[in-house]
Amino acid sequence: CFSLKISWLTYCFSGLACSEVFTRIVPEMQMLSQGEIVVNEANFVRKCISAESCQDDLWGKLVCTNFKVSFITHNSLPRQRFQCTHRLLGEHDIPLACVEQVVTVNDVKGKQKILGSNQKLKFNPTELILYCKDFRIIRFRFDEAGPESAKKVCLAIAHYSHPADPQLLFGFEYVGKRYHGSTGERMNGIDPGGGMQTTLFDCSSDWDREIKRTGASEWRVCTINQGYFISPSLPEFFVVPVSLADQDLKQYACFFYSQRIPLWCWNHSSGSALVRMSNISDPQQQRKVEQRISSAITKSHPLRSDVFKSDLDKNLPNIQDIQAALLKLRQICVIDPFEESEEKWLSSLESSRWMEYVRTFLRHAVEVVYMLESRNVPVILLEKEDRDLSCVISCLVQLMCDPHCRSLHGFQGLIQKEWVMAGHRFLDRCNHLKKNDKEESPVFLLFLDCVWQLWNQYPAAFEFTEVYLTVLGDSMWVPIFSTFLFNCPRQRAENSRFGVCKMFECFLKSLMFTKAWDWSQQFSLKDQTLFNNPLYVGKIATCVQNGTVKTFTHRRSKKNYSSTLRGLPSALRNGSLGPNDTLARRNSLVLRLRSDLSQVREQQETPSERFIRDFFSRPVDLQGLLLPQLLPSHLSVWKLYFLRWVPEAQIPQGGPITAFHKLSVLTDEIDMLQNQLRQYKGAGGTPNNLHAEHSKMYFKATSTPHQPPAPPEYLSSSFPFSPVGNLCRPGILGSPLSKFLNGAKIWLSTETLANETI
């Protein structure tokens, strides 16, 4: 009855914004999204904030909808003065797709049960524990709630968090109500501010532009997979060598796993191509087909260099290893109480192998960069099905080599190209349907952690912030975006048509699934400014010289971009490095920048190690090649993602957010002064009264430049995700673990340091 009333009210007030309707009609209810209905609810529920007593806990109503688990309370935690507000989720909401496990407990009988879909519950629960995929653990108590209503809401949460079919995911209800048959709406990753559009690579023109941008003149757009005629998991458009005819590609397709023809990823400025390829399933045809493909790629190279093949299955952990590492990491970061595991926390972190895998992927990407940049040879990334590990490596290589990929829209286009359109199994790897745990693996999260490591070492090289990467990781669990909802482009297309037939039989148009890049679906324009990096050094930098605003453009020339290619011996140009050949070294800063490498003996260095040493001996060009430092002591725990819900890990009024605040204010003040200078010079600019409204920074400067801004209130190192309030777990202030969490150096054992390699 309640859900019917809500639907009727939504219809009656369709002229108002949805948030306005529910603010006026049902003020205590978080707004319902389009297509969302209430399934079940229980009153007089206690949300546990305190571990030992209930004096700080919250009382309210626990509601299960077809989209989320929502807790509605009047005595909410104190709201932060600066708090990012999600448009689809309230402060106490959890998307059903984010729920990893539903556990019910009966204190009296001493029983507990993990609930799944369509299961029965023989006892009345006194407690509900939700284990979430974003590392949250949330507890509800039913001491004062009716036993039947408590049981029903627990069963509803378990049932709706385990959908049996993709069409039962909330994305279909949301898209059907909001986007079907709409006209003139903002769609498909268009920037809500009317700026650049994220390239989706779902049409041939997008690939044509990418070919021209990278200078891949010997490559062409192939259309033989239109209608997914050749391969069900490949996009309809992709790029192949000019020398390969369509008829040959059709003939070779049957020899590859899942008919996945080799895919072009990117071209280096020297002409070397990065290609990804699945294994050949027919052993009898393997040699012949590999030679034909390699020959075509060689012909696309200006120097006709031989192809280097990188077997990812042999050199990298598999998806089961990655999943096991994340489960162990979650255990030590969230589930195990810090006070009980403090002495062995660092060793437990090491034993999870998550950081080891992050380092392994970064190291392998650097080796591929070495082949492209120094050896000047094309590279083929080999993986059995070319849908997991190759996504990570191809993206990391492009991030290290191509500054365009480090811009916001460039990075989003990179994910579209190498993950979404290339057929990464988001539906299976995220386990949205909870059908096959063996297929679940956080490959995309591992990639984001690798990106964060690179970002952490070169923050000024990236247009986006750590907050953006964290929000992007969370977007996988908001099941309304086709970006993270399906296994391949064909499945997206088929489910769109099926959805129309199932829900809108009177219409002939397809459903228009929204993309994750339309951030206005989740955040306001103001909150989206948290994505903008105040340190970013882009292609165009401005400064004031002698009272004049000047613009300096960073130009990427082949000479500067591939400095290691100058004066290369003939043996190196042919794809091999002679025993007496060394790479040039200039502006020697290696002792200051890489003291860790000073003890490495020259005669023991491999060519790739010399390439890395040579890179760190030169000043870093933020618009050129970037390589990560790869020793274990250089990698950090991504605290904002893995430890943001742990109160002991938070630094009140400190941490990186303090630096972010001050840099934002300074950047905004510079922008304001430049606008004033342009007005003074008659060059136009943003009027002063509109500056704050159009500022790119979340924290803005005061109206008077000489007046210092007041420090923000209620900020912690976990901003903008951490809740405010006492979560009542024993403190660890002053302990070795707290020093580590606050950024202090924790030295590894002498034995570990002795075994470190590049």
**Dist CA 359 CA 617 (whole Å):** 22
Helix or strand holding residue 6 (H, E): helix 2-12
Report how far Cα 417 is from the mean position of its chain's Cα atoms: 14
Give the residue among 447, 402, 400 at the shortest CA–CA distance from 420. 447
Compute how many other C-beta atoms are within 10 angstroms of the C-beta atom of residue 184: 5
**Dist CA 141 CA 664 (whole Å):** 42
Compute how many other C-beta atoms are within 10 angstroms of the C-beta atom of residue 652: 13
Strand bridging mode 308-311 / 263-267: unpaired
Compute how many other C-beta atoms are within 10 angstroms of the C-beta atom of residue 390: 28
**Dist CA 132 CA 476 (whole Å):** 12
Helix or strand holding residue 573 (H, E): helix 570-573
Tokens of 48: 């546990």
| Torsion sign over Cα 421, 423, 429, 431 | positive
Among all chains, which residue has been given the structure tokens 């300074």?
A: 666
Asked if 35 contacts 177 with a C-beta cutoff of 8 angstroms, the reply is yes
Asked if 219 contacts 262 with a C-beta cutoff of 8 angstroms, the reply is no
Asked if 144 contacts 136 with a C-beta cutoff of 8 angstroms, the reply is no
Non-local (6+) Cβ contacts of 238 within 8 A are 207, 221, 222, 225, 261, 263, 264
Backbone phi, psi, residue 29, to 5°: -100, 125
Give the residue among 61, 64, 57, 86 at the shortest CA–CA distance from 72. 61
**Dist CA 754 CA 598 (whole Å):** 13
Q: Bridge-partner residues for 102, per DSSP?
A: 115, 130
Q: Is 318 annotated as a binding residue?
A: yes
Asked if 519 contacts 510 with a C-beta cutoff of 8 angstroms, the reply is no
Asked if 699 contacts 712 with a C-beta cutoff of 8 angstroms, the reply is yes
Would you say how long the chain is, in residues? 758
**Dist CA 372 CA 756 (whole Å):** 26
Q: Bridge-partner residues for 742, per DSSP?
A: none
* HSE-up of residue 547 (Cα within 13 Å, Cβ side): 3
Binding site members: 318-319
Binding site members for substrate: 318-319
